[in-house]
């Protein structure tokens, strides 16, 4: 019985480590994608979930099919950007510029 309890504790500990490891990997991936987006103005289909892009200057950016769930986009400039099929569920878009001016 005692061996079973130790095994369960070890299994729980390993599961916790894997969960934390996966979370850290996702955070690193998102940060790398943010850096790529800010540098190239393109991050088509990439994961930006939970990123803080507040007041980012991203006119004409390509964010088609990007995961923008729960991102902070308040005050960001997306004028003329490609956002087709982007997932914006839970994103903060207050004061964002998402239209395209026509002469």
Q: Can you give the pTM of this predicted structure?
A: 0.73
**What CA–CA distances, in Å, run from 99 to 24, 39, 79, 96?**
35, 22, 5, 9
Contact call for residues 65 and 86 (beta carbons, < 8 A): yes
Determine the structural domain holding residue 44 and report its residue range.
Answer: 1-103
Instruction: Give the Cβ contact number of residue 45 at 10 Å.
Output: 12
Q: Reply yes or no on whether the pLDDT at 79 is more than 60.
A: yes
Distance between CA atoms of 17 and 15, rounded to whole angstroms? Answer: 5
Domain count, the chain: 1
pLDDT tens-digit profile of 5-38? 667 767 777 676 666 566 666 788 999 999 999 9
């Amino acid at each position: 019985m005692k061996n079973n309890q130790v095994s369960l504790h070890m299994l729980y500990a390993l599961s916790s480590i894997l969960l934390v490891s996966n979370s850290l990997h996702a955070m690193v991936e998102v940060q790398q994608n943010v850096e790529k987006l800010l540098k190239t103005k393109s991050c088509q289909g990439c994961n930006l979930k939970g990123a803080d892009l507040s007041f980012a200057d991203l006119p004409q950016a390509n964010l088609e099919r990007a995961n923008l769930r729960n991102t902070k986009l308040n005050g960001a400039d997306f004028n003329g950007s490609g956002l087709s099929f982007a997932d914006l569920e839970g994103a903060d878009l207050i004061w964002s510029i998402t239209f395209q001016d026509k002469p």
